């Protein structure tokens, strides 16, 4: 049994996972892991997707790479998908949600165009990541959070820090 919490902030690209995850790590002392960075550092890829112009993640190798760290606890995992991770890894999952118009603007500013831009906005419209989380994890641990404004971000951070502190009290 872990003595420190594991968190998964997830959601469509552009919803604020990385900003939230890094700031949470600062406020809580938990370890922040960005799956894209981890994959890049360890070359944990299984080819290249020409249509989306990005490497294809080798999910099994990512899970193998992180499993020991996750069993120790104290980790915030940042990724736009969630069903590749074992259910036992996380104590709580936060699906960040952003208004479609804002998301479109954020992704455009990142250089997303065409099909990649459209598919990511559609993913948000159809709640794809939320549904994926609800299927992959116990419904009690999956929570949606609005992520439209700096005020939303601050409110989310405060809520998650409080939740983390309570979890630590309850489990130690």
According to the annotation, is 14 in a ligand binding site? yes
pLDDT for residue 136: 97
Share of the chain above pLDDT 70, in %: 100
Contacts of residue 62, defined as CB under 8 A and 6 or more positions apart, other chains included, come to 35, 38, 39, 44, 84
Ranges of H-type helices in the chain: 17-28, 35-42, 59-72, 100-109, 114-125, 128-136, 150-171
Q: How many CB atoms lie within 10 A of CB 69?
A: 16
Q: What total of structural domains would you count in the chain?
A: 1
According to the annotation, is 16 in a ligand binding site? yes
CATH of the domain at 148: 3.40.50.300
Is 80 inside any structural domain? yes
According to the annotation, is 111 in a ligand binding site? no
Per residue in 70-104, pLDDT tens?
999 999 999 999 999 999 999 999 999 999 999 99
According to the annotation, is 27 in a ligand binding site? no
Range of the domain at 40: 6-165
Q: How confident is the model at residue 29 (pLDDT cuts 50, 70, 90)?
A: very high
Q: Is the pLDDT of residue 1 over 80?
A: no
Length of the chain: 172
Is 172 inside any structural domain? no
According to the annotation, is 2 in a ligand binding site? no
Of 103, 101, 73, 78, give the one whose Cα is nearest residue 89: 73
């Amino acid at each position: 049994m872990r003595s420190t919490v594991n968190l998964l902030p997830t959601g469509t690209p552009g919803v604020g996972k990385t900003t939230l995850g890094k700031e949470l790590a600062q406020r809580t002392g938990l370890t922040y892991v960005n799956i894209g960075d981890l994959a890049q550092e360890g070359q944990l890829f299984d080819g290249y997707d020409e249509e989306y112009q990005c490497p294809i993640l080798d999910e099994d190798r990512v899970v193998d790479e992180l499993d020991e760290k996750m069993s120790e606890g104290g980790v915030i995992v940042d990724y736009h998908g969630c069903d590749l991770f074992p259910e036992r890894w996380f104590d709580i999952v936060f699906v960040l949600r952003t208004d479609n118009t804002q998301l479109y603007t954020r992704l455009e500013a990142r250089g997303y165009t065409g099909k990649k831009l459209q598919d990511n906005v559609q993913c948000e419209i159809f709640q794809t990541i939320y549904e994926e989380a609800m299927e992959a994890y116990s419904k009690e641990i999956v929570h949606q959070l609005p992520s439209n404004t700096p005020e939303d971000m601050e409110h989310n951070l405060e809520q998650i820090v409080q939740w983390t502190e309570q979890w630590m009290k309850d489990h130690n």
